[in-house]
Homo-oligomer: A and B are copies of this chain.
Amino acid sequence: MTEFVVAGAGLGGSLMAALLGRAGHRVTVLERRADPRTGLVEAGRSINLAISERGLHALARLGLTDAILRIATPLHGRMIHPVSGPLAFQAYGRKGQSINSISRASLNQVLLDAAEQSGAVRMQFGRRCTELDLEAGAVVSVDAVTGQAPERHPGVVLGADGAYSAVRGQLQRRERYDFSQDYLGHGYKELYIPAGPGGAHRLDPNALHIWPRGGYMMMAMANVDGSFTVTLYLGFDGPDSFSRLVTPEAVEQFFEREFPDARALIPELAGTFLGNPTGSLVTIRSRPWHIGGKVALLGDACHAIVPFFGQGANAAFEDCLALEGALGRHPADLARAFGEYEAERCPNADAIADLALGNFLEMRDRVASPWFRFEKRVQALVHRLFPRWFIPLYTMISFTRIPYAEARRRARVQTRVVRGVLILVAVAAIAAVWQLIR
């Protein structure tokens, strides 16, 4: 039995607390915000989540699969919306394979309940972490609103407090702490398509809708109540950018021109657009993820990624399982457990960070191209012929638990082989035609 202090009751923090509680540890969870189950949830900045195989595997460990799938919408593929002309559907994998769209708030609530029911887990909301005592192993928190009423929480500290982690902020000041924060030149704006009459979805709910425009894009994911959460990813500066869309007229014109079908579904477009905040997208890398046996980081706190592979929450959940496994192997030697956890997860976090950045280019620029679609079809065909040897990257990431770094490596080899074969086939075909016509 160890005493843990988890900073952050978001997705990673609450799942971790549940796993620790179940394993018989005593856990205090400190969360800056109010309990999301008792009040209003911050809106306008929550990209919908996609939970796929990795996340489901972690949720299954807590027996939460059914509870989660009940409030999720399965997505079988991408629906591409051109400026004009028919929609085009691209399946994510084989029949039956889907990722699961879910609202961050709903998922968080299920996990908070699970944590509280798992054992000796005590939640304290409205507490902001201000200090880290690495010698003794403790956190000091204050009231998040008043900044008063400091309280000391002794225990092994787990920082699950997100991209702007206060725990990591303390570690960053130490010498020899490697850290980077890289912002995309693109930001995002959340918009909303309400449900149709009788709660009907006004677009196919079982697809991730994409409006690729080359250089920027829009996305929509279904909610269970018939509505859609829409996210526009757009540059901060330049000709088509947030810096130009500052008047109702400019917003309306931009949507009329670029997203006419979506425009018709979004009520009060200009007001919502100009009223909602513009979010920024950051990739954070940090190392080490732990100091001795006193503190460890997980999820966005040590490896925030951009959302374009839908893997942020899934990666955090994998962290939690890896940490649980390492603690199980070395219950009396936390320094060693944390070391093994970091060695296992760090290369994978780096890999998914790169893949997520790469997928932005794919989604906004390449999905609409005929060559891209042709290559995807060839990949699907080869996968059917050699299902164990050739697995498309998207399938490895979303429908298997092959470690991210391993998946990236395999995908590189596969792509080279398939392109080589395609070139050989093309050369052979040209040679054959030449034989026939000469």
Residues on A facing B (Cβ under 8 Å): 172, 175-183, 236, 280
A236 to B181, CA, bound (A): 25
Instruction: Indicate if the CB atoms of A180 and B183 lie closer than 8 Å.
Output: no
- Could you say which residues of chain B place their CB within 8 Å of the CB of A175? 183, 280
17 A-B contacts (beta carbon < 8 Å): A172-B181, A175-B183, A175-B280, A176-B183, A176-B236, A176-B280, A177-B181, A177-B183, A178-B181, A178-B182, A178-B183, A179-B179, A179-B180, A179-B181, A180-B180, A180-B181, A180-B182
- Could you say which residues of chain B place their CB within 8 Å of the CB of A180? 179-182
A182 to B181, CA, bound (A): 12
A179 to B286, CA, bound (A): 12
Main secondary structure of the interface of A (DSSP, over half): strand
- Could you say which residues of chain B place their CB within 8 Å of the CB of A179? 179-181
**Min CB distance, A42 to chain B, in Å?**
16
**Min CB distance, A48 to chain B, in Å?**
21
**Min CB distance, A177 to chain B, in Å?**
7
Give the residue name and chain of the B residue nearest to A172 (CB).
B181
A176 to B175, CA, bound (A): 24
**Min CB distance, A47 to chain B, in Å?**
16
A172 to B180, CA, bound (A): 11
A180 to B175, CA, bound (A): 13
Among all A-B residue pairs, the 3 with the closest Cβ atoms:
A180-B180, A176-B183, A175-B280
**Min CB distance, A262 to chain B, in Å?**
27
- Could you say which residues of chain B place their CB within 8 Å of the CB of A172? 181
A180 to B284, CA, bound (A): 9
- Could you say which residues of chain B place their CB within 8 Å of the CB of A181? 172, 177-180
**Min CB distance, A283 to chain B, in Å?**
10
A380 to B2, CA, bound (A): 65
- Could you say which residues of chain B place their CB within 8 Å of the CB of A176? 183, 236, 280
Give the residue name and chain of the B residue nearest to A236 (CB).
B176
- Could you say which residues of chain B place their CB within 8 Å of the CB of A236? 176
- Could you say which residues of chain B place their CB within 8 Å of the CB of A280? 175-176
A206 to B228, CA, bound (A): 73
**Min CB distance, A438 to chain B, in Å?**
40
A172 to B181, CA, bound (A): 9
Give the residue name and chain of the B residue nearest to A187 (CB).
B176
**Min CB distance, A357 to chain B, in Å?**
14
